């Protein structure tokens, strides 16, 4: 019997075998903990993080609203860095709740998935 974390890691590796970030379309990776949510835009060819954003310092609002703000922030930073298209990596999490909020806000902010 596998635990929740082992299941997520299996899904994560399965997804990561199929996608990787390039110079033209870097990978947008989402990590969520119980309290925070973190997003990075990564070029896997060089192994560099190009842009990052997190919900640190936004504890006053609900978690879904924090996720939406992080999505808007990452889209704004990415467009300033000249990144318009990304590959979305949900990192083994279900595309639901806070992960979906980040993705929708980033799309509304101008990023193309």
For 44-93, what is each residue's pLDDT tens digit?
A: 999 999 999 999 999 889 999 999 999 999 999 999 999 999 999 999 99
DSSP 7-76: HHHHHHHHHHTT----SSS-EEEEEE-SS-EEEEEEETTTTEEEEEEE-TT-TTS-HHHHHHHHHHHHHH
Q: Is residue 61 part of a domain?
A: yes
Q: In total, how many domains does the chain have?
A: 1
The model's pLDDT over 1-47, given as tens digits with 9 standing for 90+, comes to 789 999 999 999 999 999 988 899 999 999 999 999 999 999 999 99
Predicted structure pTM score: 0.91
Residue 35 lies in a domain: yes
Q: How confident is the model at residue 2, as a pLDDT?
A: 81
For the cut 90, the answer to whether the pLDDT of residue 111 exceeds it is yes
Q: Is 30 helix (H, G, I), strand (E, B) or coil?
A: strand
On whether residue 69 sits in a domain, the answer given is yes
C-alpha 5/C-alpha 70 separation (Å) is: 24
> Residue 86 has what pLDDT?
96
CATH code, domain with 16: 3.30.420.100
Structure tokens at 86: 């990304």
For residue 29, what are the domain limits? Answer: 4-108
User: Per the domain annotation, does 46 fall within a domain?
Assistant: yes
Q: Is 113 domain-assigned?
A: no
């Amino acid at each position: 019997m596998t635990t929740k974390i082992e299941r997520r890691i299996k899904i994560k590796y399965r997804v990561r075998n199929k996608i990787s970030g390039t110079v033209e379309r870097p990978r947008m990776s989402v990590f969520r903990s119980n309290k925070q949510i973190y997003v990075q835009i990564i070029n896997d060819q060089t192994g560099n993080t190009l842009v990052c954003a997190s919900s640190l310092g936004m504890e006053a609002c609900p978690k879904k609203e924090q996720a939406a703000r992080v999505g808007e922030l990452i889209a704004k930073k990415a467009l300033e860095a000249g990144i318009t298209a990304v590959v979305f990596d949900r990192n083994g999490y279900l595309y639901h709740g806070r992960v979906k909020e980040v993705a929708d806000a980033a799309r509304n902010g101008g990023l193309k998935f």
